[in-house]
Amino acid sequence: MEIAYYPGCTLKTNAKEFEESTIEAFRKLGIELKELNKWYCCGTVYSLATDNLMYRLAAIRNLIKVKEEGYDKVVTLCSICYNTLKQANLMAQQDEEAMYKINSFMDEEPDYHGEVEVLHPLEILKGMEEKIKENVVNPLNKKYAVYYGCLLLRPKEVAIDEYENPSVMEKLVEMLGGSVVNFPFKNECCGAYNVVSDREAVVERCYRIVGNARKNGADAIVTSCPLCHFNLSEMQKEIKKTDFVGLPIYYFSQLMVEAFGGRKCKEK
């Protein structure tokens, strides 16, 4: 089965291993992720003002490209891209006046009204328990703290699971042979783009989240967002408190590759 794949800028630079491991893991499950021929930066964080249509152009243009290449579904790995594309798609399906303006402005592109479906790989994996279990040759034997971050679960309209108590990534880890450690920060924001303007705030968040996961017995943290990965791993180096001991951060697809007999996740 082939499905359109939208990478987003960071999957091609800082998070190359996320892309490679997901393509490899899905290939083992019989799904081929085919990268789009033409795609643009999605514009990241969805613009919330009632009149700010220009900042939503990028997401709509990408969905038009998906439609033009003949696909009706697109999968994206980056949480921020997923959130932006999905919210833009909802706007395209519900707000006729806004879409009239956007379609008129983008007169060089065909019209769009929300015909494409935006998916996250964890949603696709929900129905594939049997297939995943039969591919596990090397069960993970560690304790993992699963960290969703914020944008996969909020706002409610785009959540991939129950937004206060999600379980889809936990079930995946257990299917791969690992055990899950519950910790209260699993759906709390890492500080996101404040790493650019207010680095100290994000360092503080990293200390709280990683410290709490370790306190609850985790050997590693599993995440799905490149920005969370960057904030939680790189900012560990800037923590000055002496009682802090760090943890390695992995993408869920890297765990899948390890369990399916591929490359093992690097220790720290």
Partner 1 sequence: MQRKMKMVRIYIMGKEYRVPEGLTIMKAMEYAGYRYIRGAGCRAGFCGACATVYRKEGDYKLYADLACQTTVEDGMYLVQLPFTPANKAIYDLEKIKADDKTLVNFYPEIARCVSCNTCTKACPQELDVMDYIQASLRGDIAKAAELSFDCIQCGLCALRCPAEIVHYHVAQLARRLYGKYLAPKAKHLEKRVKEIEEGKFDAELKKMMKKSIEELRKMYNARDIEPEEEMPTESD
Partner 2 sequence: MSLLAKVEELSGENLYACYQCGKCSAGCPMVDQMDLLPNQVILYVIRNDESVVEAKTPWICAQCYQCGTRCPRNVDITKIMEALRLIKLRKNIDYLKIGKVKKNLPQIAVVSATRKYTG
State the residues that interact with partner 2 by CB under 8 A: 8-10, 13-15, 41, 43-45, 47-52, 55, 78, 80, 150-151, 154-156, 163, 188-189, 191-198, 200-201, 204-205, 226-227, 230
In the complex, least distance from residue 163 CB atom to partner 1, rounded to whole angstroms: 29
Of 43 and 114, nearer to partner 1 (C-beta) is 43
Separation of alpha carbons 184 and 186, rounded Å? 6
Contact flags string 28-57 toward partner 1, x per CB under 8 A: ----------x-xx-x----------xx-x
In the complex, least distance from residue 30 CB atom to partner 2, rounded to whole angstroms: 30
Sign of the C-alpha dihedral computed for residues 91, 93, 95 and 99 taken in this order: positive
Residue 57 binds: one of partner 2, partner 1, none (C-beta under 5 to 8 A by kind): partner 1
Separation of alpha carbons 26 and 45, rounded Å? 27
Closest residue by Cα to residue 118 from 78, 169, 175, 164? 78
In the complex, least distance from residue 58 CB atom to partner 2, rounded to whole angstroms: 10
* Residue at 15: amino acid letter: A
Separation of alpha carbons 117 and 75, rounded Å? 9
Among 29, 36, 45, 58, binds partner 1 (CB under 8 A): 58
9 sits near partner 1 (criterion: CB under 8 A): yes
Mark the segment that binds partner 1 (CB under 8 A) among 7-15, 19-27, 89-97, 199-207. Answer: 7-15
Q: How big, in percent rounded to 5, are the helix, strand and coil portions of the chain?
A: 45, 10, 45
Closest residue by Cα to residue 169 from 158, 157, 154, 182? 182
178 sits near partner 1 (criterion: CB under 8 A): no
| Three-state secondary-structure class, residue 93 | helix
Of 1 and 196, nearer to partner 1 (C-beta) is 196
Separation of alpha carbons 8 and 77, rounded Å? 8
Tokens 């959130």 locate to: 83
Q: How many residues bind partner 1 (CB under 8 A)?
A: 15
Residues lying near partner 1 in the complex (CB under 8 A) are found at: 9, 12-13, 38, 40-41, 43, 54-55, 57-58, 61, 105-106, 108
